Amino acid sequence: MPTVAVAGGAREEILELARLSQIEFKDSVKFKLFDTEPDIDHEGTWEYIQCDSEEEMVRQTVEAVVSKEADILLKGGIQTHTLLKEVLKKEHDLKTQELLSHVALVKLPALDRQILLTDAGMNITPTEDQLELIIENVLNVGKAIGLTHPKVSLISAAENYNPKMPSSVLAREITGRFKDNEEATVYGPLSLDLSLSKTAVAHKKFEGPIQGDADILVVPNIDVGNVLYKSFLLFGEAIMGGTIVGTKVPIVLTSRSDEVQSKLYALKFALMQITE
């Protein structure tokens, strides 16, 4: 049975998530909570470990996945950098990729499929080498959740190469690096509408390897990713869940502002990554 280790879990929103998870996953997921605060669960929803300090709390949470007592890390009421600092300590040996990145699973009512979005939450202005690593990470995730030969769109403002536009230059360079990849189609620069809308493709008479059927969207920087992520949520009625990838276990990041369905979706996404 998969176990979720939570750092800073004595929060009402985490308790709500755990209770709803029992229903959603039919009691097939366990929660192991670490916190310095008193336990707020009085129904046996989770296993609770009282800690004397935040440092001990974070260390014990990470050690739970190191010892394979847990399969997923979930951030509760602590700062993201506090958790990641512990995760990245060499003695834990949790890092599997050169670069960690953020991948979100997106369910948009306007689309008949789920898509992945990266990197909207971790790397600020990736270099060409870093973006290549971000794509390798998301391809690993895609394989884990069952995507076969995904189409990866490198987002820019337009589909035509423009040497004055950094995202366009970056996309063309990355397209070249992946031109011989047999497991995915990586292409750009490409606008959002041509990435996701077959109507836009027909209207513009666009001919290219991605024609409104992208499986993965790769943004050139965190500004674009953040705006796109929040636009999907606020105006696209999307359900989204994100994880940090590049480690032996997925790391789920939740916010108090997230709707509970997004939190559940993020957890479901993490479970998909460990149950290939």
- Look at residue 227 and tell me if it is in a domain: yes
**Could you write out the DSSP letters of every residue in 118-155?**
ESSSS-SS--HHHHHHHHHHHHHHHHHTT-SS-EEEEE
Same domain, 111 and 223: yes
- Look at residue 197 and tell me if it is in a domain: yes
SS3 percent helix, strand, coil of the chain, rounded to 5, is 40, 20, 40
Token digits of residue 188: 């750009």
- Look at residue 242 and tell me if it is in a domain: no
- Look at residue 240 and tell me if it is in a domain: no
Same domain, 24 and 118: no
Q: Which domain holds residue 153?
A: 102-235
Query: What pLDDT is stored for residue 83 in this prediction?
Result: 93
Instruction: Label the pairing between strands 185-190 and 151-155.
Output: parallel
* Total domains in the fold of the chain: 2
Q: Cα–Cα distance between 254 and 260 in angstroms, integer?
A: 10
pLDDT tens for the chain, residues 1 to 276? 899 999 998 888 889 999 999 999 888 999 999 999 999 998 889 999 999 999 999 999 999 999 999 999 999 888 889 999 999 999 999 999 999 999 999 999 999 899 999 999 899 999 999 999 999 999 999 999 999 999 999 999 999 999 999 999 999 999 999 999 999 999 999 999 999 999 999 999 999 999 999 999 999 999 999 999 999 989 999 999 999 999 999 999 876 556 777 888 999 999 999 854
Q: What is the CATH number of the domain that holds 83?
A: 3.40.718.10
The partner residues of 244 in beta bridges, in order of sequence, read: 102, 251
The partner residues of 152 in beta bridges, in order of sequence, read: 186, 216
First and final C-alpha spacing in the chain? 14
Same domain, 133 and 170: yes
Q: Cα–Cα distance between 175 and 199 in angstroms, integer?
A: 24
Same domain, 129 and 194: yes
Same domain, 155 and 136: yes
Same domain, 224 and 151: yes
pTM equals 0.91
At 239, which amino acid appears? I
- Look at residue 241 and tell me if it is in a domain: no
Q: Cα–Cα distance between 255 and 268 in angstroms, integer?
A: 16
Q: Cα–Cα distance between 260 and 263 in angstroms, integer?
A: 5
Same domain, 39 and 63: yes
Same domain, 108 and 201: yes
- Look at residue 15 and tell me if it is in a domain: yes
Q: Cα–Cα distance between 165 and 101 in angstroms, integer?
A: 24
Q: Cα–Cα distance between 268 and 263 in angstroms, integer?
A: 9
Q: How many other β-carbons are positioned within 10 Å of the β-carbon of residue 199?
A: 10
